[in-house]
Amino acid sequence: MHVRSYRPGDEDLLRAMTVEAFAGTSIDENIERRFGLIHGHDWRWRKARQFDADLAANPAGLFVAVEVVDGREQLVGYVSTRVDPEAGIGHIPHLVVAAGHRGRGIGKRLIAHALDYFRRQGLTHAQIETLEQNPIGPRLFPACGFVEVARKIYYARALDH
């Protein structure tokens, strides 16, 4: 497995991987469970747009984990990043490893890659977040050197009354 920069043409697979990976652990799906479809769109549609927004915001900071099988690349995960050089802080909005490839250290390697990228950009700190309902982040992120600094509560309501 190696990590390389995003290339145009990767996006369809990475978008699909994102939607698959966040089933059961996304704010958008929680909202859908409570309110149903919104404006004719399901949570997958909204989640896919978040990937598109990451890509549009910082394509140079999107890194893809790749396995080469019989000389052919297989995309198995990615990490997206945003950088704020003035603030000195980098942010990791999305980290995904495809289901069949988890538990082999790929997630950790993608985080390490993102942190090295931040350092090369002259940043001094990094942020990442997780939902409480996701059992992985609260173990994985401290294992990668992050310390908890806050908890946040998300609310939503319909506008029909």
Ligand X SMILES: CC(C)(COP(=O)(O)OP(=O)(O)OC[C@H]1O[C@@H](n2cnc3c(N)ncnc32)[C@H](O)[C@@H]1OP(=O)(O)O)[C@@H](O)C(=O)NCCC(=O)NCCS
Interface pick for ligand X out of 103, 122, 154, 159 (rule CB under 6 A): 103
Of 12 and 71, the one with the shorter C-beta distance to ligand X is 12
Of 89 and 140, the one with the shorter C-beta distance to ligand X is 140
Of 85 and 145, the one with the shorter C-beta distance to ligand X is 145
Number of C-beta neighbours around residue 45 at 10 A? 14
Could you say whether residue 104 binds ligand X (CB under 6 A)?
yes
Asked if residue 64 lies in contact with residue 51, where contact means CB atoms within 8 angstroms, the answer is: no
Q: What are phi and psi for residue 78, nearest 5 degrees?
A: -160, 165
Of 118 and 137, the one with the shorter C-beta distance to ligand X is 137
Cα torsion through 60, 145, 1, 73, rounded to 10: -30
Interface pick for ligand X out of 95, 115, 123, 126 (rule CB under 6 A): 95
CB of 86 to ligand X, least distance (A): 26
| 89-97 and 125-128 strand pairing | parallel
Could you say whether residue 106 binds ligand X (CB under 6 A)?
yes
Q: Which residue is nearest to ligand X (CB)?
A: 107
Give the three-state DSSP class for 142. Answer: helix
Interface pick for ligand X out of 107, 114, 123, 146 (rule CB under 6 A): 107
The residue whose two tokens read 């704010």 is 27
